[in-house]
Amino acid sequence: DIRLSSRVSTVRPSPTLAVTARAAELKRQGKDIVSLGAGEPDFDTPGPIKDAAKAALDRGFTKYTAVGGTPELKAVVAAKFARDNGLEFRASQILVSVGGKQSFFNLCQALLNPGDEVIIPAPYWVSYPDMVLLAEARPVILDTDIDVQFKISAEQLAAAITPRTRLLVLNSPSNPSGMAYSRAELAALGEVLRAHPEVLIASDDMYEKILFGDAPFVNIANACPDLLPRCIIMNGVSKAYAMTGWRIGYCAGPSALIAAMETVQSQSTSNPCSIAQAAAQSALESGDTLLTPMLQAFARRHQYVYDRLRTLPGVAVLPSSGTFYSFPNVQGVMQSRGIDSDLQLAEQLLEAGVAVVPGSAFGSPGHLRLSFATSDENLRLALDRIGGYITAPA
């Protein structure tokens, strides 16, 4: 037997990918499964972005680039932060990585020591706690529920901070809850953080563009400009531009931290794919023009899914502020079915022909994550099946 590191034994493979894989396996066996498991837009990458990649290939842009991203892409990222977020960053404060996933991995490796604590509100994106564990630090999970719109309070944050706390992770709008913090809510959290200058803040803005209401996007650096020197703003092209497979994420923050993160990256992947960088550059240069049809579809589907879910007995659901997820509380369904785990409920729904991700995967048992990054027809079918399962006699 091969003896593995204790580090790797503390983490598990991504459970969201596992559900998608299980659904795909059942489909291969000929079962009729509608998957609401996906964590990616169902749209193809817009044509002009693909054209930029083809042009990069044709001009031989196929070699190593600067580890942290081409100067051209960094300039466009800086322009994006200025234009969309009112934040000014120099090139030395920007790092381009192999997806938002690598950005957060680099951050953990560059910042954390064994025993350090990272505050992570639940429900959380599945990778945060595991990447903290891989850095041999300790995730400190703050529970939330539907009554507080899945958002942490200032009091909760204040009570969680210890002398070992190095980082707070904020993800708004959130995968999986779909909730976004308001400026006032962020200001209240910022007020707590002011008293703890040693705590950094990772603002994961990956779903910035997918926002349904009239309120403009806001992050904690917007709400509390004085905290900007302690913020790492993380973003990427994966979700906004339907570019999950291209693997380009970017972040900006204090230059000493960014330099350390770049060193980590230089000893793992080196630069992100040169061709994908050219594509990301064209995506960010295009601003929001290519996004409108996708955003309209997400907004329409959200309305449909929310309207259907809210009528189901035993289901409590909030309208999402953004993202392509709905995160209903299904404890009522579990009770009436005599089921005690959301994993079991997800398995039964898979039997009924719908793949969803159990809330436990995100640290919030008793919930399900439904992705509406799929066709209207699939959504109708999936909700018919979920409704059929719930209302059928047990």
Residues binding ligand PLP (CB under 6 A): 39, 99-101, 125, 171, 175, 204, 206, 236, 238, 244, 249
Q: Decide whether 202 or 315 has the Cβ nearer to ligand PLP.
A: 202
Residue 175 Cβ vs ligand PLP, minimum distance, rounded to whole Å: 4
Q: Decide whether 65 or 172 has the Cβ nearer to ligand PLP.
A: 172
Please tell me the number of Cα atoms within 13 Å of 92 on its side-chain side. 5
**Shortest CA distance to 366 belongs to which of 388, 394, 345, 392?**
345
Locus of tokens 């509390």: 224
Q: Decide whether 70 or 331 has the Cβ nearer to ligand PLP.
A: 70
Q: Which residue is nearest to ligand PLP (CB)?
A: 99
Residue 59 Cβ vs ligand PLP, minimum distance, rounded to whole Å: 26
Residue 274 Cβ vs ligand PLP, minimum distance, rounded to whole Å: 17
**Shortest CA distance to 201 belongs to which of 213, 218, 189, 185?**
189
**Shortest CA distance to 315 belongs to which of 376, 353, 359?**
359
> What is the C-alpha R_g of the chain?
21
Q: Decide whether 96 or 345 has the Cβ nearer to ligand PLP.
A: 96
Q: Decide whether 65 or 371 has the Cβ nearer to ligand PLP.
A: 371
Residue 278 Cβ vs ligand PLP, minimum distance, rounded to whole Å: 17
| H helices, E strands: number in the chain | 15, 12
Q: Decide whether 37 or 249 has the Cβ nearer to ligand PLP.
A: 249
Count of C-beta atoms within a 10 Å radius of residue 56 = 20
Could you tell me the two tokens for 130? 């595991």
Q: Decide whether 181 or 389 has the Cβ nearer to ligand PLP.
A: 181
CB contact burial 328-367 (16+ within 10 A = b; e otherwise): bbbbbbbeebebeebbebbeebbebbbbbbbbbbbbbbbb
CA distance 223 to 90: 21
CA distance 35 to 3: 37
- Tell me the CA distances in angstroms from 306 to 343, 345, 358, one per residue in order: 22, 20, 18
Residue 303 Cβ vs ligand PLP, minimum distance, rounded to whole Å: 22
Residue 384 Cβ vs ligand PLP, minimum distance, rounded to whole Å: 27
Residue 201 Cβ vs ligand PLP, minimum distance, rounded to whole Å: 15
